[in-house]
Amino acid sequence: MSSEKKPVERRQRGYDELRDESGEVREAWKPLAEAVVKMSPAEYARRHDVAQRLLSDNGVTYNVYDENEGHARRWRLDILPFVLAPEEWAKIEAGVIQRARLANALAADIYGPQRLIMEGYLPPHIVYGHPQFLRPLVGFEPPGGVFVHSYSVDLARVADGSWKVMASRADAVSGIGYALENRIVVGQVFADLFADMRVQRLAEFFQAHREAVQSLAGQGRAVLLSPGPHNEAYFEHAFLAHYLDLTLVEGDDLVVHDDRVYLKTLRGLDQVAVIFRRVDSDFCDPLELRGDSALGVPGLLQAVRAKNVVLANALGGSVVESPALDAYMHGAAEALLGEELLIPDIPTIWCGTEWGREEALSRLEHGILRGAFDSRPLFSRRSSAKLGRDLTPAETIALKARLERRGATLVTQDIVPPGDAPIFADGTFTTKPVTVRVFAAWTKNGYQIMPGGLARVSDDDSIKSLSLQSGALSKDVWIPTTGPVSTFSLLRQTKEDVAVQRTGNSPPSRAMDNLFWLGRYSERADNLGRTLRTIVQRRGEGGDGAMQSFLCDFLQAVVPAKLPRNDAQWLLTTLRALIADRAAPDSLPQLLSRVRRTAWSARDRLSLETWQTIYLMTEPDMLPSSGQIFGSAEALTCLDRLVRHSAAFAGHCAENMTRGPNWLFTDLGRRIERSLHLAWLVGQITASAALSESERLRIALEISSSVMTYRSRYLNAYHLAPLLDLLLLDDSNPRSVAFQLAAAERSLEELERITPKGQGTAAVLYARALRKTTEQEGILAEIADSPTALSAHLERLSAGVAGLSDAITDAYFRHAIRHRTGGEKRED
């Protein structure tokens, strides 16, 4: 390592978590350190690879939208856990419980009597000047007086071994789901060590919190409100909803009637009693708060004031997170709790006073400058934080002027180099800066601390790299215990009789809309993959000019030409664009991207195995990259693999999904799309005269995966009438239009049975009438003998299937649509 000043200064000041002053491994770390040191580098690397594979298979991501064109980034986990001794943890536990109580008391005072302002403990501007101070809630007291149900605090250990609070969260708390996922993965990677060290478990904490919040509410559904799949922590939202038996919803899924919140489901409106909130307060109600918010529920504040729904956390907690408030937390604790802070904040100066401005300038060289109300993690994306020593002379002059004009909008905080956590690499320990996020939850017995946490380790020696958005690694936090380890599980165990039932809660309409389009997009990608595979095969076989001309005509029907047809390389260029160009509209990479985005939106509705199959099918390396030169062999290998993964997904749907709404809508989407594709395919094959009929018919059979069925009936005698019967009219062939329409009719009949009377009747009648067009007497002879009749029949069939899709939307999705998640307006 070079002799740069900053890393050397850090190591001199940081607290070594692994070793004491004499260089000996600390007692709490010894079992872990001894076990890891005994491992060969190859064994440790194997465990690391297992962990990364588990994270990948589980689809664990943390989205950063100013990188990689907004694509999700894989969650970064260092498998070596962060260990805290029981006696150390007891101090943290007491301090964080106190901070949670204080956060709740602060929110109650700010939106209640405002005694801190009246008695001079808190400058008025820190409350009234906060952009997220919600004036419509002044005077409101939530059920049970609980504002802060979930709370988190970021801790750093300073050189003397004590802890400081770097930041806290009391509004929409994040990170707890990632901490739980880390525990699951690391617990598997070091299963024996986890048991031997008697590490405290997490399930009891989650159970106590869930039961406590639900006890505050009346009868109704409990949901987790998420901003949606574009949020950076959407994986966590889906994961927590599944773990806590909550319905994952977005703002579009909820509606307020008569001061009550309802969930829009297939069966109508279900009242919501509890909302576990992951949407920032000011976005929650566009009617009374931010009018530009598309994430909230119009009228939600009125339902909250009427106490017809419990929000966890209650709205308005952003004020409590304010960095400016950190400067006054000591006095607030004495005034509201009558207690000294057990864990103090990092030294903070609010620049809203003359003394504060002078003090800020004097500390600037060794401090951090940031917005007074900017509670984003330090140096994260869009954070206002800057190191004072990094300011240029011109910036320093501008800062002085700003302090005079608007000093109340700024704070300075001392640089507190955090302790160093061990990283194990290449058979030895190194250290990196670390902070620990600890979580508290309100329960019937007061606040309870999750016995673990989310540690974040810098990628380098800079405090600028401790944000997850800046690429920091995460670690599981282990708290060994000398007493018994709880064996409690969230898997319910009860001696009471349980009523047998074959249906669950009615799902949100939006989720079913997403599954419908997942079926459509996945089938569309499969159809395109099979079509391109056949074209690549035929092109690779060579053939005369007639074959090449047919392939060009056929490919041009797949997608509008990108190059003039007189270009000798048109076929090859267009094939490569459709297979590999991620920017080309209607290309295979574009379709697979839609499949993944739509599946991600319905993540909580898919089993782990089904999600893993979709994940593999849509991996970017499934296909060649845009700039990669590839030939027929490489293209066929990729397309074959895609078709296999697509078949695996269809198999998971067919064999693993119960025949409830999730399966019904996914299957309906697939039936609609396959019907449209088959009608298109037959039309293209029969309209061309560039190739012999037998060759064209064989191509159609290959694309539709019906070659073996045809041969078993007709050997190698290729004629139009048998092909039309097989692909259009034979309801025993899973690759025929008749089969798709019959399956769609059955699914719609089942949906009509499980939804309110009359809701799906029109769609069933439409499907039934459409299906009967394939059973008309003499239809085969009519369309086989007349190209004009065949063309008209196929046009009516395509229009009818598109109309069936509209009928399904009108019956079940119309009230759920605000925008199309897959990036596409309804086009059929």
Q: Give 737-746 pLDDT, tens digit per residue.
A: 999 999 999 9
Q: What pLDDT sits at residue 464?
A: 63
Whether 74 is in a domain gets the answer yes
Helix H, strand E, coil C: the string for 130-195 is CCCCCHHHCCCCCHHHCCCCEEEEEEEECCCCCEEEEEEECCCCCCHHHHHHHHHHHHHHCHHHHH
Terminal Cα distance for the chain, rounded: 61
Q: What pLDDT sits at residue 468?
A: 64
To the nearest whole percent, how much of the chain has pLDDT over 70? 90
Whether 279 is in a domain gets the answer yes
DSSP 200: P
> In degrees, to the nearest 5, what angle opens at C-alpha 287 toward C-alphas 286 and 293?
10
Tens of pLDDT, residue by residue over 379-400, are: 777 788 888 888 999 999 999 9
> Which of 604, 635, 657 is the endpoint of a domain?
657
On whether both 318 and 355 belong to a single domain, the answer is no
Say if residues 421 and 430 touch (Cβ distance below 8 Å): no
On whether both 411 and 467 belong to a single domain, the answer is no
Segment of 43-47, 216-220, 426-430 carrying the highest mean pLDDT:
43-47
Confidence band, pLDDT 50/70/90 cuts, at residue 31: very high
On whether both 575 and 532 belong to a single domain, the answer is yes
Separation of alpha carbons 240 and 234, rounded Å: 10
Say if residues 672 and 801 touch (Cβ distance below 8 Å): yes
Q: What pLDDT sits at residue 540?
A: 78
Contacts 24+ apart (CB under 8 A), 607-611: 607/652, 607/656, 607/657, 608/57, 608/58, 609/652, 609/656, 610/649, 610/652, 610/653, 610/656, 610/657, 611/58, 611/59
On whether both 565 and 686 belong to a single domain, the answer is no
> Which of 456, 478, 500 is the endpoint of a domain?
478
What pTM does this model have?
Answer: 0.86
Tens of pLDDT, residue by residue over 501-556, are: 656 678 899 999 999 999 999 999 999 999 999 999 988 776 667 888 888 888 88
Q: What pLDDT sits at residue 471?
A: 67
On whether both 340 and 386 belong to a single domain, the answer is no
Confidence band, pLDDT 50/70/90 cuts, at residue 307: very high
For residues 733-758, average pLDDT: 93
**Count of CB atoms situated within 10 Å of the CB of 48:** 17
Confidence band, pLDDT 50/70/90 cuts, at residue 6: very low
Whether 822 is in a domain gets the answer no
On whether both 235 and 116 belong to a single domain, the answer is yes
Whether 548 is in a domain gets the answer yes
Residue among 642, 428, 688 nearest 536 (CA): 642
For residues 195-220, average pLDDT: 87
Q: Can you state the percent helix, strand and coil of the chain, rounding each to 5?
A: 50, 15, 35
Q: Identify the bridge partners of residue 780 per DSSP, sorted by sequence position.
A: none
Instruction: Please check the confidence at residue 736 and state whether its pLDDT lies above 90.
Output: yes
Question: For the chain, how many residues are written?
Answer: 828
Tell me which residue range forms the domain holding 290: 27-346+416-478
On whether both 611 and 671 belong to a single domain, the answer is no
Segment of 152-161, 202-211, 369-378 carrying the highest mean pLDDT:
152-161
For residues 178-187, average pLDDT: 94
Average pLDDT, rounded, for the chain: 87
Residue among 303, 307, 289 nearest 258 (CA): 303
Q: What pLDDT sits at residue 357?
A: 93
Whether 16 is in a domain gets the answer no
Whether 2 is in a domain gets the answer no
Q: What pLDDT sits at residue 219?
A: 81
Tens of pLDDT, residue by residue over 541-554, are: 766 678 888 888 88
On whether both 320 and 336 belong to a single domain, the answer is yes
For residues 686-705, average pLDDT: 89
Whether 496 is in a domain gets the answer no
On whether both 220 and 336 belong to a single domain, the answer is yes
Instruction: Please check the confidence at residue 660 and state whether its pLDDT lies above 50.
Output: yes
Q: What pLDDT sits at residue 68?
A: 46
Q: Which two tokens stand for residue 785?
A: 């003998």
Structural domain tally of the chain?
4
Instruction: Please check the confidence at residue 3 and state whether its pLDDT lies above 90.
Output: no
On whether both 634 and 668 belong to a single domain, the answer is no
On whether both 567 and 612 belong to a single domain, the answer is yes
For residues 652-676, average pLDDT: 93
* DSSP 3-state of 274: strand
> Which of 415, 446, 470 is the endpoint of a domain?
415
Tens of pLDDT, residue by residue over 275-295, are: 999 999 999 999 999 988 889
Whether 679 is in a domain gets the answer yes
On whether both 52 and 109 belong to a single domain, the answer is yes
